[in-house]
Structure 1
Amino acid sequence: MFTSHDGLCSIGELAERAGVTVKAVRFYSDNGLLPEAARSAGGHRRYGPEALGRLRLLRSLRTLGLPVREVRRVLGEEEDAAGSVLEGAVAGQLRELGSQLAALRWREAALRLVLECPPGERADRLRLVGSVAAPPSTAALARFWRAWLPPRMPARATAAFLDAAVPQPPDDPEPAQVLAFARLYALVTRPCTGDERPQPEAHKVSGSRGPAVLYAGLAQAYELAGARLRRGHGPFPGEELDSFVDAYASAYGSRDTPGFRSVLAGQLAADPRIDRYWELTAEVISAPGGPPEPTPGSAHDWLCAALHVQTAVAAG
C-alpha cells in the first residue's frame, strides 16, 4: 500500500518503486497500458496500489522484447486466456530473434571472409557477398529451377524437387560456405544469352503425368545413390541403378531392357550439365574440411557412371 492519505502515489514514486523511469510510466499511461486512478488538483497523475504490479508486468514483457501491440494483447485478455496469448507472443518473439541471430552470424562470416582474403581479392569478395541478403534468401535459386523444370510439372512434384535441389544456407556458416552461397547466387542470377539452360532431352517427357512420374522416381534413385556416396562406394549396377532406369522407363511408358539402357546412357551423356551449380551446393551444405554431402547432381553422376559401366560391359 502507498502511504499517502488517499492511498495513491505520484508518478515519481511509482516509477521509483517499480525500478523504471518516469518517462516510461508516462509512455505506458499515454498508450492506455497503465490507467491512472486520479489527477491531483494541480493536474498531476495519481496511481493506485494495483498500478505497481501492472507496471512490473509491463516492464517484464518489454524486457523480453515484446512490442507494445503484443503487450496490449496480453494485458487485454482475461486471466484464463492471457496465458495462451503470452505463449504465442513469446514464441513469435523467439522466431524473430532467431532470424536476427542468423543474420548476425551470416554477416560475421561474410566480414571474416572479406578480412581474411588476400588484399587484391577484397573488392571482388565484397561485391560478391554484398549482393546477398543476410540472412540469405533462396528465392532466386527456386526461380532458377522453376524456369528449368518442365512447364507441366504438378505443384506437389515441383515443391518436392525444389526441396532437394535448393540448398538451405547453414544457420552458423563458415566463411567458405558464405562464399559458396554467394557464388551460387551469382550463378543463378546472371543474365542469360539465348537458351543457356535447356531442358535435358532425356527429361522431355510427354503427357500430363510424365514429368511427375520421372522426377518422383529420380528422387528415390538419388536418395539411394546418396547413401552409397556417403559410404564412399564407387558407382556400380544395383538397386540404385535399377530405380534410376525405372524412373525413365515409367515416364516414357517403356520397358527396362538392355537396349533401353544403352539408348538412355547415350542420351544422358549428351545432355547439357550444370555441374557448377551442384559443386557450389555441396560446398554450401557440407561442413568445411569434411566429406562433401551428396547432392542430386552428384547422385545423378554416380548413377550415370554406373549405367555406363553396365552398358559398356554388355557391349563388350
Structure 2
Amino acid sequence: MTMNSYSVRFEMMGTFIDLVVYHPNGEQLIKEAYLQLQDYATRFTANQADSELMRVNQSAGIAPIAVAPDLFELIKLGKYYSEDVSTPFNIAIGPLVKTWRIGFKEASVPSQAVVHEKLALVDPNQIMLNEQEHSVFLRQKGMEIDLGAIAKGYFADQVKQRLIDAGVENGFISLGGNVLTIGHSPKNSNKAWNVGIQNPLSERGDVIRIVPLKGMSMVTSGINERFFEFNGQRYHHLLDGKTGMPLATDIASLTIVSKRSVDGEIWSTAGFLSSASQSIHYLNAIEGIEAVVISVKGDVMITSGLVEYKQHSTDIALLLMQ
C-alpha cells in the first residue's frame, strides 16, 4: 500500500522552503505548517520594525519587554551558547549585521571607528532575562538581538514536532538548506532521505557528498552563501564579534548532522573556528553532533561518528555510525 505524498515549495524568510508529507491528511497538514512558519517569520525577524523581536531591540537601554514563551526560550538558548567566548556564535551580533548589510544591495565596508563603536554593543552578557515575566532587556541602547543563526532550526523542529503529533511518520522539511527529516523516504531503496552537501568551491548543484538521513537534521553554513566584493576583496556574512570583521578562517563550509535542527544551526556557526582541523577537533568532543568540514583548499574532513563509503564509482556517501 503506497501512502499519498503531498509536497509544496514556497518562498518565505528570503529563502525557498520545501515540505514533503506522507499522510492521508497531508494537504491540510502542509497548510498548517505554512501558517505556523508564517507566524514565526513575522514574530522572530530582525528585518521588520513591528516584529516581537524588534520590540525588544527598540527598547534596548530603556525597558524590559515581555515576549511569548517560545521567543523567550529561543533567546535564552541563544544567550547560553553566545556566552561561550571560544566560539563565534553570538545572538547579540545584530548591530554589526546591520552595519555591514551583507546580503543586501547596500552592503559596504564600515570604517574602523564604526566597527569599534558597534563592538561595545555585541556582548551577550548584557541580555537580561526574567524567567517570571518572560521579559528580555538589552542593557545598552543600540544593542540588537539577531536570531538569524538559530531561528530556522528552531522553526523546523517545531514544524516537525507538530507533524509527528499529527501522525506523520515520513516527511521532509527544508528551510533554505536547513534539512530536517521524519522517518525515511518511502521512495528510496536505502530507506533514507538522501541529502547532498554542496561543493562550496564549485557551481551550485555540484554535490560533494551525500548523507542518507533518517529522522535526522542537516544544516550547512558557508562563506560562499552571502558575500560582497569591494576593492578586489571578498567579505562574507559570518561576522566575528571580537573583531567586528568577517571571520578569518580556512573553512569554506561546515555541515552539521544532529537530531535537532536547532543544534545543527548553533554548531554550524559555533564550529566556524579559524581552521578546519581545529573545528573538527572541537566538534568531535560534542555529543550528538557530527560534522563535515570543507576547507578553502577543498579538503573534506569528517568527525569520527561519520564513515565514508563509495556507493557508485563516483558517488561518496557519509553514513552515521549507528
TM over 0.5: no
Q: Which has the higher helix share?
A: 1
For the aligned pair, the TM-score class normalised by the smaller chain equals under 0.3
Q: Which structure's CA Rg is the greater one?
A: 1
